[in-house]
């Protein structure tokens, strides 16, 4: 399937994972993902960052290996050599292909918050969620600020003021004490 797509811009997509490795001789790859929106959305393609250029790759089929890995067969990637060329590249999903009903539902997991922009109660940008640790009962967000500082903030539903799944934005009321702990740890 070939579709004439205009140049895809970074503000039209959001990162959902990366190609972790090639698999077998048919050209399949394994994608580690933080958001399974591709399974709920309407896009027949994923977007890969190929040396700074966002390129759509249409899939023929995919199947889940586990909760955070999917095995994908892309069109025109028919052998191991072609599949190897995709390994390590970041994978994005088009914001316009998230269904409207999807924005009214909850996230598939807290890891899907990776890449969200976080604002405080005064609507000031705090930073972007770069990692989510949900391996224990307490979910921990790593938020990277615009000046490159990492904040470690435990996530709790009581902190949530507002969210927008389509725009990938969270507004949180983070207690000043938690922010102060991050300052004290950096000194």
Which one of 70, 104, 138 terminates a domain?
104
Both 100 and 14 in a single domain?
Answer: yes
Question: Is residue 1 predicted with pLDDT exceeding 80?
Answer: no
pLDDT-derived band at 186, boundaries 50, 70, 90: very low
Parent domain of 166: 110-186
pLDDT in tens, 35-61: 888 887 888 999 999 998 999 999 999
Beta strands at 45-50 and 53-66: parallel, antiparallel or unpaired: antiparallel
Distance CA 104, CA 125 (A): 23
Whether 80 maps to a domain, the answer reads yes
Q: How many structural domains does the chain have?
A: 2
Q: Does the predicted TM-score (pTM) go above 0.85?
A: no
**Based on the domain organization, do 121 and 85 belong to the same domain?**
no
Are residues 15 and 59 located together in one domain of the fold?
yes
The CATH number covering residue 88 comes to 2.40.30.60
Reduced to 3 states (helix: H, G, I; strand: E, B; else coil), residue 7 is: coil
Looking only at Cα atoms, what is the longest distance across the chain?
A: 55
Per residue in 22-41, pLDDT (tens digit) is 998 899 999 999 888 888 78
Residue 3 has pLDDT above 50, yes or no: no
The mean of the pLDDT values for the chain is 85
- Per-residue pLDDT reduced to its tens digit, 86-95: 999 999 999 8
């Amino acid at each position: 399937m070939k579709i004439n797509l205009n140049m895809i811009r970074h503000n039209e997509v959001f990162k959902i994972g990366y190609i972790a490795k090639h698999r077998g001789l048919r050209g399949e790859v394994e994608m580690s993902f933080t958001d399974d929106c591709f399974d709920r959305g309407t896009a027949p393609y994923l977007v890969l960052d190929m040396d700074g250029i966002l390129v759509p790759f249409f899939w023929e089929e995919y199947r889940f290996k586990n909760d955070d890995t999917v095995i994908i067969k892309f069109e025109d990637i028919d052998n191991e050599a072609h599949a190897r060329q995709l390994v390590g590249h970041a994978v994005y999903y088009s914001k316009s292909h998230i269904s409207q009903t999807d924005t009214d539902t909850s996230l598939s997991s807290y890891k899907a918050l990776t890449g969200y922009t976080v604002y405080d109660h005064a609507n000031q940008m705090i930073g972007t969620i770069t990692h989510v640790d949900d391996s224990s009962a307490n979910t921990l967000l790593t938020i990277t600020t615009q000046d490159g500082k990492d904040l470690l903030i435990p996530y709790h539903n009581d902190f949530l003021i507002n969210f927008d799944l389509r725009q990938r934005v969270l507004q949180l009321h983070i207690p000043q004490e938690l922010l102060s702990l991050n300052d004290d740890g950096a000194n």
